[in-house]
Amino acid sequence: MTSQADYKDRQFLAVIGDEDSVTGLLLAGIGHVTAPPDAQKNFLVVDGKTDNATIEEAFNRFTTERKDIGIVLINQHIADRIRHRVDTYTAAFPTVLEIPSKDHPYDPEKDSVLRRVRRLFGE
Amino acid sequence: MSGAADREAVFPTRQSLGLMKAKLKGAETGHSLLKRKSEALTKRFREITRRIDEAKRKMGRVMQIASLSLAEVTYAVGGNISFQIQESARSARFRLRTKQENVSGVLLPAFESYLTEGNNDFAMTGLGKGGQQVQRCRETYARAVEALVELASLQTAFVILDEVIKVVNRRVNAIEHVIIPRTENTIKYINSELDELDREEFYRLKKVAAKKQRDNAETDAEMKQKRENQEALDREAGESAAADDSAPADILAVDEDEDVIF
Amino acid sequence: MEGLLFNVNNGYIEGIVRGYRNGLLTGANYTNMTQCETIDDLKLQLGPAYGDFLASLPPNPSTSSLAAKTTDKLVAEFRYVRANAVGSLAKFMDYLTYGYMIDNVALLITGTLHERDTRELLDRCHPLGWFETMPVLCVATNIEELYNSVLIETPLAPYFKGSLSHQDLDELNIEIVRNTLYKNYLEDFYHFVNNNPDMAGTPTAEVMSEILEFEADRRAINITLNSFGTELSKADRKKLYPSFGMLYPEGTLMLSRADDFEGVRLAVEGVGDYKSFFEAAGLGGGAGGPGNMAGGTGSDGKTLEDMFYQKEMEISKMAFTRQFTYAIVYAWVKLREQEIRNITWIAECIAQNQKERINNYISVF
């Protein structure tokens, strides 16, 4: 299932979020830009103008293409926009974590993992 | 699972009966071991789910505190620093390390966060105004991210355990509902076949014995008859020796009679 | 003397600005605001002061959109006043905007350095720091072009000239560039209010000197405190201190030598106000200095930054006690900015459910 090599190199976090969440998390020091020429960032700022395809592409890049990311943080209201994609994501690595944002308080009902928890306990 | 039809394709021999019995024993041991493993994992799993539930709720609070400290920065700097922050991000200070924990033979990875030394992309941010708030906000967010990392570990463990438990339970169920009944069926089948064979053999032997007896009896009877006949013959011969003699003598006599002519 | 002719050109402006000042939120307003349970309640409380500008907001708006709308009002009023200003007052108001321009230019420099499409950045610029030729800067694709167009196209040219070369833009941290510009700007502004024939010797020069001196000192102190633990050398740091202010020159010299919070405290000891700030902050912060208070939650003592803001507001409030002065325009803008910060802060506290710190706003009326 998960071999050693699958996660030992995963040392970064990635974030998809609104401006404030990303800023805060970058302040914490998670921001990483890989060496040029391809200079990939491990964060994506989503605002009203960002379309769902961009979010989905970033999500796919962080979860499947990049092998150095261990945790993907995503704002819950943004996860809602690509809910089908988040809900069908079941791999253990990288972990996808839905976090609240400043303007959208956390709603445990929507969380894909929490819903699984609930289903398992038959609530 | 309709009884007799579901069994393994073996020849009902004593040897395969022995094999099947060993197999049944193995399956039963395996079943109890796996059952225990599944129970241990489920216990762990329930604990983790409970902790996830708690942590997720706590996270809401932690993130609120963190975003308030970001608001403080905005308040102190008097402007938006996010663009600058985004652009000055270079190399991650906050990184992950993975370690493993062994729960009943399942390796659960756990994330551990660490800060790389001497790596500060934002040291100068807010130099003229609000620098102290920026530093404080960094600490607050670093703590928030630590909490998130912990939660992520739990969640990873959750996903992996979920998977493992499913597999183990599937095995337990397979053993319990397929392999054991099937082996039992096979054993039953072999036993019944063997019994059948036994009975056949017995019947055959019995038949053979009966036949033999009959044969013997026949032979005896024959012998007896013969002997009796012989005896009777002897006696007859003895009794009518004259008659016996006479007869040929008769014939002779007749022949002689004929012959006598010459 | 100044009273004789002031109203000829500037009486209307003064009247308007005093009217605006009376529209500022008072302590009672703030008390009401802190009682709000939701952002909508807050919006309702702000109705009388900001009605028109908040009308377009959706129910339960985000704090950032609230801040944007309140800023819009300030900008609209500022533009109105600026449009009616003539002569040296117009120039004075232009000076006011230069501070915002510096931030905007710093933003564009950052964008150009990272090869971003700078046009996107125009939205992020502070509207008060908008200048007509700003879109021109976006044409620049490399730092040298940008430098040349900054020199030609912006009013900030004199602040670049002589202290920054185009290599500096590339190599120096953007914060150093920003603070160098700001230092030059403050010095220029100070020189302007004290030497312009319309202002020299008038209450404007007097009040503005006080305000700008305070601003210069505040920046010097902040830069010193924030530079601890960074690669900013003492010599470079010294270059960022404005060459006036109550601390200048002895205090500034001592600041440039300071190694820790204690050193800064010693340096500012000569000025009563700062001394008391540091004493208060020193008690709250403990050995680590005022910046290291844990987590930000539950720190009841005000930070140094808070006290500086408080002081700024008091100076600004006092400016209105003087007549025939341009300084009230400056003071009004600053008071208004603080008001926006207060509203944002209160809104943030409500949104994040952190009521215990909601009273951290600064109100002087």
CA B35 to chain centre: 12
* Choice between C304 and B18, residue whose per-residue pLDDT is larger: B18
Measured between beta carbons, which residues in chain C are less than 8 angstroms from residue A102?
62-63, 351-352
**C-alpha span between C106 and B85 (Å, rounded):** 13
Residue C287: its pLDDT value, please? 37
* pLDDT (tens digit per residue) in B159-175: 888 888 888 888 888 88
CA distance C9 to chain B (A): 32
Give alpha helix (H) positions in chain B. 14-77, 82-88, 131-174, 180-239, 241-260
For residue B149, what are the CA distances in angstroms to A86, B109, B156, C136?
19, 12, 10, 45
In chain A, whose CA is at the least distance from the CA of C348? A102
Q: So what's the pLDDT on residue C74?
A: 92
C154 versus B124: the higher-pLDDT residue is C154
**Residues with Cβ within 8 Å of residue A120, at least 6 apart in sequence:** B49, B162
Cα–Cα dist B80/B122, whole Å? 14
ipTM for the whole complex: 0.82
Write the pLDDT tens digit of every residue in C92-106.
999 999 988 888 888
Q: How far is it, in rounded angstroms, from Cα A122 to Cα B203? A: 61
Residues of chain C found within 8 Å of residue B87, distances taken between Cβ atoms: 110-111, 113-114, 116
Nearest Cα neighbor of C108 from C132, C129, C125, C128 is C125
Is pLDDT above 80 for B123? no
Contact between chains at B71 and C223 (C-beta distance less than 8 A)? no
Average pLDDT rounded to a whole number, residues C192-199 = 86
User: ω into residue A94 within 30 of 0, thus cis?
Assistant: yes
Q: Which amino acid does the sequence have at C134?
A: M
The mean pLDDT value for A19-48 works out to 81
Q: How far is CA A80 from CA A102, B151, C118, in A?
A: 15, 20, 31
Query: Which chains pack against B, by 3+ Cβ pairs within 8 A?
Result: A, C
Mean pLDDT of chain B: 80
Contact partners, residue C60, CB within 8 Å, separation at least 6: C38, C39, C40
Predicted pLDDT of residue C330: 92
What residues of chain A lie within 8 A of the CB of C63, using their CB?
A: 102-103
Closest chain B CA to residue C292: B136
What residues have CB less than 8 Å from B228, skipping those under 6 apart? Answer: none
Measured between CB atoms, which of A23, A100, A120 is closest to B63? A100
Cβ within 8 Å of B, A 50-69: none
Contacts of C64 in chain A (CB under 8 A): 20, 103
Cβ <8 Å between B81 and A90 = no
Contact A104, A75 (CB under 8 A): yes
Cross-strand partners of A45: A17
| Chain C residues inside the 8 Å CB shell of B74 | 344
Structure tokens at B205: 């032997």
**Angstroms from A3 CA to nearest CA on chain B:** 10
| Interface test with chain C among B77, B81, B132, by most C beta carbons within 10 Å | B132
Res. B77: pLDDT tops 70: yes
**b/e burial code for range A35-71 (CB count within 10 A of at least 16 → b):** eeeeeebbbbbbeeebeeeebbebbebbbeebebbbb
Instruction: Output the pLDDT for position B131.
Output: 77
Amino acid C91 reads K
Q: Which of residues 61-120 of A touch C (CB under 8 A)?
A: 102-103
pTM of the model: 0.77
Task: Give C160 to chain B, closest Cα distance, Å.
Answer: 18
pLDDT greater at residue A93 or residue C318: C318
Helix (H, G, I), strand (E, B) or coil at B85: helix
Checking if the pLDDT of B254 tops 80, the result is no
Q: How confident is the model at residue C345 (pLDDT cuts 50, 70, 90)?
A: confident
- Peptide linkage before C249 cis (omega within 30 of 0): yes
- Residues A84-90, mean pLDDT to the nearest whole number: 83
- Band of the pLDDT at B240, cuts 50, 70, 90? low
Q: Which residue of C has its CA nearest to B123?
A: C230
Q: C69 and C57 in contact (C-beta within 8 Å)? A: yes
Q: Average of pLDDT values for B140-158?
A: 86
Instruction: Tell me how crowded residue C31 is: count the other CB atoms within 10 A of its CB.
Output: 11
What is the distance in angstroms between the Cα of A79 and the nearest Cα belonging to chain B? 16
Q: Which of A28, A32, A105 sits opposite B91 (nearest CB)?
A: A32
Q: Find the mean pLDDT for residues C53-72.
A: 85
C269-297 residues labelled b (16+ CB within 10 A) or e (exposed): eebeebeebbebbbeebeeebbbebeebe
pLDDT of B5 reads: 59
Over residues A4-31, the pLDDT tens digits come to: 455 667 788 888 988 888 888 888 888 8
Contacts across the A-C interface (CB distance below 8 Å): 9
In single-letter form, the type of residue at position C72 comes to D
Structure-model confidence comparison of residues C291 and B106, the more confident one: B106
* % residues pLDDT > 90 (chain C): 14
Give residue A44's identity as a one-letter amino acid code: L
Q: What is the DSSP-derived secondary structure letter of residue C324?
A: S
Peptide bond into A105 cis (omega under 30): no
What is d(CA C247, CA C269) in angstroms, rounded to the nearest whole number?
Answer: 9
CB contact under 8 A, C351 and A102: yes
Q: Which two tokens stand for residue A83?
A: 């809910």
To test the contact with chain B by mutation, choose from A9, A18, A20, A23 the residue with the greatest count of B C-beta atoms within 10 A, namely: A23
pLDDT confidence of residue C285: 44
| Percentage of chain B modeled with pLDDT above 70 | 84
Among A1, A10, A27, A106, most B C-beta atoms within 10 A, so best to mutate, is: A27
- C110:B120 CB<8 A: no
What are φ and ψ of residue B103, in 5° steps? Answer: -115, 110
Contact A26, B86 (CB under 8 A): yes
C287-292: long-range contacts, CB 8 A cutoff, minimum separation 24: C288/C261, C289/B132, C289/C225, C289/C228, C289/C260, C289/C261, C290/B132, C290/C225, C290/C261, C291/B131, C291/B132, C291/B133, C291/B135, C291/B136, C291/C225, C291/C226, C292/B135, C292/B136
- Using pLDDT thresholds of 50, 70 and 90, give the confidence band for residue C329: very high
Residues paired with C230 in a beta bridge: none
pLDDT band at C292 (very low <50, low <70, confident <90, very high): very low
Chain B residues whose beta carbon lies within 8 Å of the beta carbon of residue C261? none
Give the count of beta carbons closer than 10 Å to the beta carbon of residue C191. 12
8 Å CB contact of B52 and A108? no
Q: Scanning every residue of chain B, which has its alpha carbon at the shortest distance from the alpha carbon of A5?
A: B98
Q: By the 8 A CB rule, do C291 and B135 touch?
A: yes
pLDDT of residue A35: 73
pLDDT at C145: 80
